[in-house]
Amino acid sequence: MKLIVAACAALILCAGAAEARTWRIRPGPNAQAQLQTALIEARPGDQVRLAAGRFALTQGLSLAVDRVTIRGEGQDRSILDFSRQNQGAEGLLVTANRVTLRDFAVENARGDAIKARDCDQITFTGIRAEWTRGPHRDNGAYGLYPVNCSNVLIENSIARGASDAGIYVGQSRHIIVRNSLAEANVAGIEIENSFFADVYGNTATRNTAGILVFDLPGVPQMGGHSVRVYENRVFANNTANFAPPGNIVGQVPAGMGVMVMANRNVHVFENEIGEHGTVNIAIVAYPNTIADATYNPLPRDVIIRANRFGRSGFAPAGPFAALAQAGAPLTDIIWDGAETYTAAGRPRTEPVRITMRDNEAQGRAVTFLSLGVPVAGGDMAEAQPNTNAPALSTAREPERVRVQQD
């Protein structure tokens, strides 16, 4: 009897597995319709396989079926080419749970390359998102763009040329970004308005700024916290800012390694950060007017430890250029000094705690500067640079992020 039950179970399992279908799509004049049809008619458990080659697509693709894998033959071999896109605000939009994107590229989307909205368990592995002409203000905003997602894994992926952020995780929870390359974007990797993120083993270079940890007002999820940025190589992010003005990253000066804006409990450790014309690490308040009384623009509990710094401050940009001209020494780590802000017309003060320890700088002393701008968003002309470090943080490092994948 037991045997029969086991046999039945095996049969059911096999039958279940056999039902999962593999859709095989090849480049060609019908690829657009075939691929979109597969993405609509796929059932949970199915794979959509992209052959090697260049898929010339004119309309944005979308996937809304759970547990589907889209898999190509490699991030340089299976290329979804949106150079002639005439419809759709992104190359590929995913609005389903437990989706895996693997081993293909999205090139030259008119808007964002790959957006995943409201997803649980979204994986990007071996993906490339690129605007092939290099930095250009008319490139799409984001390369890999999960927003309001939980359990986000981005690994072994590449993002190049985004006019905002190459890898951008917004308003999400439980995030890993690892072993990826962000190159020639405005922001290389940006974790924004998100909770529990581990960013490690990545390379960010030739961007305007390497890695950003930001929190902005005016969106459903605010109060970003618990972010660890470690064991990354962040170097030579000196590309002139090519973001359209108006967006927050448009305000980021070129030559920036790591930048923490607002957020609390951010740990930056064991990274190699150097060759930045402006500064290796900046810790700043959100500078613009705040209408939302619940938003806190200050960075709080920031721990900078055991990083290895290279050169910085040799070609300062933006407000830092004026500061340098006025004689302020540009250092490895710069804090704006703000501990007061106004939200919805009400002034508030709160200590910003920053711990800096065990960092090294090729044998020289690691340097720190407070710009002495007491109010968030205060005029740089009123800066009173000093070396007074803020109070030490005793915030405990968040535990390793575990991304649920089942």
Partner 1 sequence: MRALALALLLLLSASGAVARVSADAPVNQALVLSGRPAATLTEYRFFRDARAREPNAGVTPYDLNTALFSDDAVKFRYVYTPPGAAARYNADGVFEFPVGAVLIKTFAYPADARAPNDNIRFLETRLLIRQRNGWAAYPYVWNEEGDEARYTPIGADIPVERVNEAGARIALTWRAPNRNQCAGCHMSAGALAPIGPAARNLNRDYPYADGGANQLTRWVERGHLDAAPAGAPRAAEAFNPASGSLEARARAYLDVNCAHCHNPAGPAHTSGLDLRSANADATSLGIFKRPIAAGRASGDMAYSIDPGHPERSILLHRMESLDPGVMMPELGRQSVDARGLALIREWISEMNAPAPGVPPPH
**Interface with partner 1 by CB under 8 A: which residues?**
33, 36-37, 39-41, 60, 62-64, 85-89, 93, 95, 109-112, 117-118, 137-142, 145, 147-148, 163-164, 168, 170-171, 216, 218-220, 243-248, 287-289, 291-292, 344-345, 377
Q: Which is nearer to partner 1, 133 or 364 (CB)?
A: 133
Q: Which is nearer to partner 1, 365 or 381 (CB)?
A: 381
CB of 243 to partner 1, least distance (A): 8
The amino acid that residue 260 corresponds to is: V
Q: Which is nearer to partner 1, 292 or 350 (CB)?
A: 292
CB of 139 to partner 1, least distance (A): 7
CB of 201 to partner 1, least distance (A): 26
87 in helix, strand or coil? strand
Q: Enter the tokens of residue 133.
A: 């002409």
CB of 29 to partner 1, least distance (A): 13
Q: Enter the tokens of residue 16.
A: 């279940």
Q: Which is nearer to partner 1, 60 or 224 (CB)?
A: 60
Q: Which is nearer to partner 1, 185 or 271 (CB)?
A: 185
Q: Which is nearer to partner 1, 112 or 339 (CB)?
A: 112
**Which single residue is written with the structure tokens 């939009």?**
93
* Cα–Cα distances in angstroms (integers) from residue 63 to residues 35, 44, 111, in the given order: 10, 11, 17
* Cα–Cα distances in angstroms (integers) from residue 199 to residues 46, 117, 279, 382, in the given order: 30, 20, 20, 35
CB of 86 to partner 1, least distance (A): 6
Q: Which is nearer to partner 1, 138 or 360 (CB)?
A: 138
Q: Which is nearer to partner 1, 10 or 344 (CB)?
A: 344
CB of 164 to partner 1, least distance (A): 5
Q: What is the DSSP string of 197-262?
A: EEEES-EEESSSEEEEEE--SSSSS---EEEEEES-EEE---PPP-SPTTSGGGGSPSSEEEEEES
The amino acid that residue 142 corresponds to is: Y
Q: What is the DSSP string of 14-45?
A: HHHHHHS-EEEE-SSTTHHHHHHHHHHH--TT
Rounded Cα–Cα distance for residues 173 and 153 (Å): 11
CB of 352 to partner 1, least distance (A): 20
Rounded Cα–Cα distance for residues 302 and 304 (Å): 7
Q: What are the residues whose beta carbons fall under 8 Å from the beta carbon of 344, sequence distance 6 or more?
A: 290, 291, 292, 293
Q: Enter the tokens of residue 273.
A: 């950060």
Q: Which is nearer to partner 1, 107 or 301 (CB)?
A: 107
CB of 339 to partner 1, least distance (A): 19
Which own/partner pairs from 394-400 qualify as long-range (CB within 8 Å, at least 24 positions apart)? Answer: 394/353, 394/355, 395/264, 395/265, 395/301, 395/303, 395/353, 397/228, 397/267, 397/303, 398/196, 398/226, 398/227, 398/228, 398/265, 398/267, 400/198
Rounded Cα–Cα distance for residues 2 and 308 (Å): 62
CB of 58 to partner 1, least distance (A): 10
